[in-house]
Structure formats: structure tokens, C-alpha cells
Amino acid sequence: MVLKSTSASDISVYQVSGTNVARSLPDWIAKKRRRNLKNDLEYQNRVELIQDFEFSEASNKIKISPDGESAMATGTYKPQIHVYDFANLSLKFERHTDSENVDFLILSDDWTKSVHLQNDRSIQFQNKGGLHYTTRIPKFGRSLAYNKINCDLYVGASGDELYRLNLEQGRFLNPFKLDTEGVNHVSTNDTNGLIAVGLEENVVEFWDPRARSRVSKLHLENQFDSSPFQVTATSFRDDGLNFACGTSSGYSYLYDLRSQEPSIVKDQGYGYEIKKIIWLDNVGTENKILTCDKRIAKIWDRIDGKAYASMEPNVDINDIEHIPGTGMFFTANEGIPMHTYYIPNLGPSPRWCSFLDSITEELEEKPSDSVYSNYRFITKDDVKKLNLAHLVGSNVLRAYMHGYFINTELYDKVSLIANPNAYQDEREREIRRKIEKERESRIRTSGAVKKASIKINRSLADKISQKRGDSAAEKVLTDDRFKEMFEDEDFQVDEDAYDYKQLNPVKSAKETDEGAAKRIRALTAAEESDEERIAMRENRGQQSSSEDESSDEEDEEEKQALTKKDEKRIQRQLKAIERKKKERNAADKFMNEMHVGATDTDDLDVKKVTFDEQVREMEGKEKEKRPDDSIIHRTHFGEAELTFVPSKGKPKQRKPRRSDSDDEDEQEGREDRGRTKPRFDGRRRASKNVFRGM
């Protein structure tokens, strides 16, 4: 078991519950196998400060009862109210409401009496039995404040009035008329009864409930940010003289009520509106104050503004509450679980969870802890090495990103079976590392250090030294971030791999051993003549191999002298020569076919025949082909005009009609005449009009 912790300037902040709890479990474990975890000793010994300290969707507000024995929180979805009993460290009960809660106050010393401001303009009074009474206000409410002296409940709304509801008389009193509209926050001073109203403009109005009039008006000015802002939070200190307010631009102002100039202006740093300000009195240190926005809650010194500690959950903060006299804080946030933070330097843990003082240091998280303390992440290569490929898809291996999650105990057993000498090998590697560190610490030249440290990727080190110098290369080799790239074999660069060739498509002659033979370029005329001579000599040697034995011996010696690289180069160049010859022959053949009159005047001397004579001869041939007296005129654009005299054609001879008296045998013998008598004579007609065919 470990506790999530952060430390700044030797101040430890422990996160007891929330999204980053001590033992984080995957969602698929928490939902499906929660019952099986009851037999897990580590899960049984987990730190769960308050049982069911969460809401279905998000939490809005949280407050501690004045007696410090219980906590009340509101959240959604559905809108509900939770009350937690610290004595039993569990949820006491939950109630559902019709509308979502905006703000609430605990009126009694315990949780039994409370008032809730809803987002449907209603105000609900809750008691021990449930809903006691409901009333409504004209405008949508934003903030609540209660004056214990005269039992007035102040309701800040979106209008220009501060509503007053007297709980002793049970009726609304005349509201306080404000100069501007929009009340963001209301707070009261328990010492002198002064009321502070933070408005949408950069103004804070102070009212005296005894005189029912405005006492003063405070205008906030910010020389660091000239953009308009609103007052979103106000707070009085118990001494009655110090006042603090926060703005929508993320600045906090601290005032002494005897002066209009702020004693200090603190920037929260994120630019979000300040949600709450808490004066941390009766704690282990003095002069501390807490300011909170939706991103972070900061504790700092109100005298010099120096940061003391901070609490930053993974989700947005809606509200924060401090248990007086202790170092514990509760936060209501957008996540499902509510967060609990404990700062031992501010004070001890509450008496209902005093065990935290003894276990915080023991359970503090170490940097080497994995994401899930009881699960280990392995890659696909590890699965093959451990022979676990048959378990892929089962519940033993849970697929995640580019690998799998496996139980730590199961992984230890499987790795021991796969490699029984793993411990001994790791021990030898550790001894070897220590010996190499001792050797590196000795005095030696830079070149010796460089050679000793380079085990792989020597070409990469040479490139770095050529481009940036030996000093820069030595820094890279000795840097902890990059030295494993030249020592560990897993970082070996494969220059024959396809990906490497795609990233490095061209190499210079200095980088390759083959030199110019590997470069692809066109051959010059001199090289072509040399290659033709070499090819002719080889062909001649092959033809006369049976006649001249001495020439065969010379050719064999020459072939043996040629290396494989030279043979490949020669074959490649010979193919290029043959390809060029084929292209040249094809071009000559094409030019001969395109020559004028090459197809019609094979036997004619083209040089002695003019173009005019060829045109006249072509026209005469066309005239002989035409049987009529038509004339064709051709233009130099290739157009032709045909002139002719039309003539009457011979009239068509009609075939005589046969009479019905002709003999049928005679009609069948005449093949030149067509059929005139319908084939369907004597048959039943499809038409209803029988007289049509008579």
C-alpha cells in the first residue's frame, strides 16, 4: 500500500482519497471482480478514510458541522444530499431533491438543521426528518449567508437586491438595495456583524445590519490586469479587522478594514475565478491563508505572499473545506469520488482518524512504483519470450495500448520458469556495471574514453564528431540520456533495414565501400565505347573457345581476376548499352515510316518528281474512280468541295397484285412475289369486330 504524495519546500501533501488513491485499480477490476478482492490481504489493508465518500456524477458543495462530528455534501446526478458520520467513518444517509443545489448552510451545531439554495429559485429548510419548509425568491440565487445575532438569512441573487429572510419571525424583510446588479458572494463577520457583498462589477459593498444601510464601498483596482473583472469570493477573519476577496481574473486581495489600499495582491497563476478563501488559524504555522480556483488550491503566507503548499487534483474543484485545528482538507469536485488531503505540517489528523499520523510516512509512495501496484505492464515481445502467447485474449492478459497488463505475482512465477538463472544474470550485469563505472572514473585520454564507451552505432558517433567536433561527441557519449544508445544492443541501428533506407535514400561516395559503382547515372560516350569493346572481346572469346585453347586460358584468368562486384557492374552496363541500341533502332524505323511518300513511291525516284506533279496524278486517279461528272476542289487547309449535276433516277416497278382467283399452287411456285394473303385466314380473330375482315 502506498499513498499519493507531493512535496514542495519540504512540505508533504498526502492524498488520502480521490482519483489518485493509494492503490489504484483498473475499472474492469473494480466493477467485475470487487467481490473476489475481499480475500486479498493488501486490498483489505487499504486506506479508505470514509466509506462511500463519492457521488454518482459530481459534487457541488461540502461543509463540516460546527461540532466537527459530521460532514454534509451536495452533488449530482440525481440531485442529492449526503451526510457522513465521522464516528463510524461511513455514509449516514442520503436524500434526493427536485433541483440541483447551488449553496447551503448548516444552521445548528450538528447536521440536523440546514438551509439549501436550489437553482429553481427555491429555498429549502431541512431538518432531522427531511424537508421542513420551502419558499421562493424572485431572482435566481447565487450565495447564502447567516447572521447568528439577529437570525437573518441573506440571499444574494442575480438582481440588484440582497434578500433578507428572518428565521425568528419567519418572514422576508425589506431587502438591501444595491447600486449594481448581480451578487456573486455574500459573507458576514461574526465579530461585528458586518456584511460584505461581492458584485459583478469590481466593487464590494459593506452593510451594517443594525442601521440597515451601506457603510462603505470598496473599488478593486488591478495594475497588472486592465481587463474588467468581477468579485467572486469574500471572507472575513475572526479578528474582525482583516478582509479578503477574490476576483474572476484569478487575483486575491487582502485588506485591513482601516485602509482602502490592499496589503497584498496575490495571483493564483491560472487565470480562473477564485472560488473560496479560507483563513487558516489555529494550525501549526501562523499567517497562512488558502485560495482556491477550479484548478488548484494554494496555501501561502499572507504577510509576504510566499507559497507554502498546494493541492492539485486531476479534476476541476467546485468547493473546498478545512477541518479546523487539523491539517485535513475535503474537496468537492467534478469527479465521482471526493478528495481528501492531509498536510502534517499544518496540524495533526482529526481524532476520528488519528491513525493517519502513524502510517503516512510508512505508506508514502516511492518514485519506482508502477501505475498499478499489483499489475505489471509487458510488451508483445515479452509475451513471446515468456511463452504466454496462448493466453492472449483471456482474463490473465489484459490488452492495453501496445502491450498487456499481467498480475505481478504471476509474472514473477512465469519469468522464473522461463529463465531460472535470471537472478544470477542480473547480479553479474550489476557487477559489470559497477566495474565499468570504476574504470570510467580513472584518468585517461578523451580518445580512450570514447573508444571504451562505444560498443554499437560507431558510425553514428563518427557522424556526430565530424559535424560538431570531438568535444560535442564526447558529451553525448557521457550523457546519461544518450549513452545507452552506444552501449545497449537493443538500440542497434540496422542500416540494411527497409525503414532506414527510406529515411536515408542517398549516400555519398565516402560513406559507401562500393563508391561510384553503386551510383545510378547515364554512361558517357567514352564509357560506351569501352563497354562495347569489352563486350565484343567476351563474345569473341566465347565463340573461339573450341578452336584456341590458349585464348580460353586467358579468358578464364581474366574472369577469375574479376570480382563479383565488377561482374555485376559490367552486366549492368551491358544491359544499358543494349537498351540504348534498341531505342536508337526504334527511332530510325519511326523516321523512315514518317518520310513523305515512303509507302507509295518505293520504286520511284522521289528527288525527280515535284510535289505539283504528285498532286495532279492523285487528282487524275480520283477522277477516273468517279463515274459521273462531279468535280472536287481541294484547298490548302485540307477542305474539299464537291460539285455535281443531279439526274433523275429510274422509276421503281411495282409488283402486280394477285387476284383472289389465282390458283394456290401457282402462287406458291412464284418465288419473286411476296405473301399477300394473310396467314391467319380461317382462324378465329382476336378482335371483337368480326365485320372488319369481311
Q: Top-level CATH class of 5-365?
A: mainly beta
> Measured in whole angstroms, how far is the alpha carbon of residue 26 from the centre of its chain?
21
What pLDDT is stored for residue 453 in this prediction?
Answer: 63
Alpha-carbon distances of 389 from 376, 414, 523, rounded to whole Å? 16, 13, 55
What pLDDT is stored for residue 456 in this prediction?
Answer: 84
Residue ranges covered by each domain of the chain: 5-365, 375-421
Residues in a beta bridge with 642: 632
> What is the mean pLDDT, run by run of 10 residues, along the chain of 694 residues?
63 80 53 62 68 90 93 92 93 92 94 94 92 93 92 92 92 92 92 91 91 90 80 91 92 91 90 93 87 93 90 91 92 91 90 81 51 76 85 82 84 81 80 80 51 74 82 82 82 82 65 45 54 60 52 56 71 84 80 54 51 75 66 68 68 55 50 53 58 56
Cis before 510 (ω within 30):
no
> Measured in whole angstroms, how far is the alpha carbon of residue 12 from the centre of its chain?
32
CB contact at 8 A, 529 and 543: no
Identify the CA nearest to 408 among candidates 372, 433, 447: 372
Alpha-carbon distances of 552 from 129, 556, 563, rounded to whole Å? 118, 6, 18
What pLDDT is stored for residue 435 in this prediction?
Answer: 86
Identify the CA nearest to 331 among candidates 2, 69, 73: 73
C-alpha–C-alpha distance, residues 302 and 308, integer Å: 10
pTM (predicted TM-score): 0.54
Residue 131 dihedral angles phi and psi, to the nearest 5°? -75, 125
For 127, the grid coordinates are 431538518
For 524, the grid coordinates are 558517357
The 3-class secondary structure across 342-381, one letter per residue, is ECCCCCCCCHHHCCHHHHCCCCECCCCCCCCCCEEEEEHH
| DSSP class per residue in 589-629 | HHHHHTSTTTTT-SSS-GGGS-HHHHHHHHHHHHHHH-SS-
What pLDDT is stored for residue 671 in this prediction?
Answer: 47
CB contact at 8 A, 109 and 65: yes
